[in-house]
Amino acid sequence: SCKPVSTPLVLNEKLSKDDGTDMADSSVYRSLIGNLLYLTATRPDLIYSASLLSGFMQSPSKIHFGTVKRVLRYVRRTTHLGIWFRSNAKEDLTGLIELKGYLDSDWGGSVDDMKRISRYCFCFNSGVFSWNHSIKEAEKNGDVSPLHCKSKDQLAGIFTKCLPKNKFEGLRSKLGVSSIKLKEEC
């Protein structure tokens, strides 16, 4: 019985290691973060929040714990979501398989270190199948050739920053994360 939320994080909220609040139980916090990281295998919409919050596992505050609880309220509201691979009309008519890759960078979800974060994802037809936090080595080796993509069209943005609800839901859908409720058979 928790109040559901439509996004995992509050837009423009900046978290810091020294936020001035009391410390939370680090054992419980680490366990919750571990569970969130486990969920990212089938829920790429949780990657940014789980990654950001994992940076506070050493000494989480009450604010960090409250933010984790918000993410869990989002998970509770969206238990019907998962990666869904669908064929598309283009594939059915031409036999083509569509493979796309996206890369985005951000200068810090944490005000403490402002480290550059790069994340990428690859989609097969309608669903994401691979994502990571760095692609520099692959580019250096000539394995990939990144092309410029407007920020508003950047699918990997969901991995690097907190987004407004409409943008978050749109990118989540483009990742192939959608309702996996199946119709009951008679």
pLDDT range class, residue 115, cuts 50, 70, 90:
low
Domain total for the chain?
1
Q: Which residues, listed in sequence order, are joined to residue 110 by a DSSP beta bridge? A: 15
- CA gap 178, 84 in Å, rounded: 6
Residue 38 lies in a domain: no
Token pair for residue 113? Answer: 């270190």
Model pLDDT, residue 5: 96
Residue 78 lies in a domain: no
Non-local (6+) Cβ contacts of 155 within 8 A are 100, 102, 104, 121, 123, 171, 174, 175
What is the separation of C-alpha 168 from the centre of its chain, rounded to a whole number of angstroms?
Answer: 9
Model pLDDT, residue 66: 96
Residue 133 has pLDDT above 70, yes or no: no
pLDDT digits (tens, 9 = 90+) for 13-30: 999 998 999 999 999 999
Taking the whole predicted model, whether its pTM rises above 0.75 is answered as no
Residue 2 lies in a domain: no
Which region among 98-102, 151-155, 163-167 has the lowest average model confidence (pLDDT)?
98-102
Count of CB atoms situated within 10 Å of the CB of 173: 14
pLDDT digits (tens, 9 = 90+) for 38-53: 999 888 899 999 999 9
Residue 90 lies in a domain: yes
Residue 167 lies in a domain: yes
Residue 154 lies in a domain: yes
Across the chain, where does the E strand assignment appear?
81-83, 99-106, 117-124, 127-132, 177-179
Give percent above pLDDT 90 in the chain: 39
- CA gap 53, 184 in Å, rounded: 37
- CA gap 136, 34 in Å, rounded: 27
Residue 133 lies in a domain: yes
- Expressed as residue numbers, the domain containing 170 is 83-178
